[in-house]
């Protein structure tokens, strides 16, 4: 895997780069695991509820098995594929009983590799087992927060967590943000780091690539008229009047909008603010 930086032939190429993926299989996606993905364009009931969305290339959703609950049934990696709906790669698994499923690919997964999800699985990259049976210090990903619900955290490209300690019924997990969180030892996790770790180093380079990804242009509120945004109006470059607020008049920039979360009690150490 490497970053390709284009020659500066024109303005669009000047800052553009792409990730050249290795090990990706040249094949069409598995038809039985595709689902339609209707476009919303950021609208609810015909009105824009999320700004700066719309357009983009047509794509279909790949049904991903985040639970990997075929316990004890070995599977073989038939292909490693790109997924237009996520930053990481996905792997098509052919199980011994004939079923096919997509799973999140880890960094070391290769075509032809055997993986298994079971309580006493070997400590091999790509296998899935409960936290209580994973050695302390191991790199893990696609971690359950609630037993049996399937992987909910550490799923985006290049992310990883570390199993820090096992204490009683709980396990201490250090996330890539620096946060240390408690989880049940019965929760399952996949061994290894999520694939495509160079995704964050990719530079889009031009607006056209952003439009392909369903991103529409954003305009600063301070350059709008007062009727269009609370920050708008004034002669020349004006500061934000009154208190900072969203286009809908809700407090912003420093105002806590997140309600008290029931999982806060499981946070041992919070992430460090940059």
- Domain segments of the chain: what residues? 24-39+52-200+262-269
Q: Which residues contact 70 (CB under 8 A, 6 or more apart)?
A: 95, 97, 99, 101, 117
Give me the architecture of the 24-39+52-200+262-269 domain, per CATH.
Roll (2.30)
Going residue by residue through the chain, which has 274 residues, state the pLDDT in tens, using 9 for 90 and above.
Answer: 688 888 888 888 888 888 888 878 888 898 999 999 988 888 888 888 888 999 889 999 999 999 988 888 999 999 999 999 999 999 999 999 889 999 999 998 888 899 989 988 889 898 999 999 999 999 999 999 999 899 999 999 989 999 999 988 899 999 999 999 999 999 999 999 999 888 988 888 889 999 999 999 999 989 999 998 899 998 888 888 888 888 888 888 888 877 777 788 888 888 887 6
Q: Which residues contact 144 (CB under 8 A, 6 or more apart)?
A: 150, 151, 152, 183, 187, 188, 189
pLDDT for residue 225: 92
pLDDT for residue 1: 65
Q: Is 27 exposed, middle or buried (0-12, 13-18, 19+ CB in 10 A)?
A: exposed
- The model's pTM is 0.85
pLDDT for residue 144: 93
């Amino acid at each position: 895997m490497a970053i390709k930086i284009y020659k500066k032939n024109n303005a669009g190429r000047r800052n553009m780069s792409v990730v050249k993926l290795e090990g990706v299989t040249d094949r069409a996606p598995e038809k039985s695991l595709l689902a339609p993905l209707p476009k919303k364009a950021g609208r609810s009931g015909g009105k824009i509820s999320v700004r700066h969305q719309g357009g983009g290339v047509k794509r279909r959703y790949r049904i991903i098995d985040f639970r990997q609950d075929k316990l004890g049934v070995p599977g073989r990696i038939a292909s490693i594929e790109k997924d237009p709906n996520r930053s990481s790669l996905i792997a098509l698994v052919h199980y011994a009983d004939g079923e096919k499923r997509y799973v999140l690919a880890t960094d070391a997964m290769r075509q032809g590799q055997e993986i298994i999800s079971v309580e006493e699985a070997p400590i091999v990259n790509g296998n899935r087992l409960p936290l209580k049976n994973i050695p302390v210090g191991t790199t893990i990903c696609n971690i359950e927060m609630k037993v049996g619900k399937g992987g909910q955290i550490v799923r985006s490209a290049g992310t990883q967590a570390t199993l820090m300690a096992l204490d009683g019924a709980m396990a201490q997990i250090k996330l890539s943000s620096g946060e240390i969180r408690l989880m049940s030892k019965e929760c399952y996790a996949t061994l290894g780091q999520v694939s495509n770790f160079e995704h964050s180093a990719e530079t889009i380079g031009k607006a056209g690539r952003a439009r392909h990804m369903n991103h529409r242009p954003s305009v600063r509120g301070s350059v709008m008229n007062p009727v269009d945004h609370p920050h708008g109006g004034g002669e020349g470059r004006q500061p934000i009047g009154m208190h900072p607020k969203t286009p809908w008049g809700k407090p912003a920039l420093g105002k806590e909008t997140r309600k008290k979360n029931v999982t806060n009690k499981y946070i041992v150490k919070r992430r460090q603010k940059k």
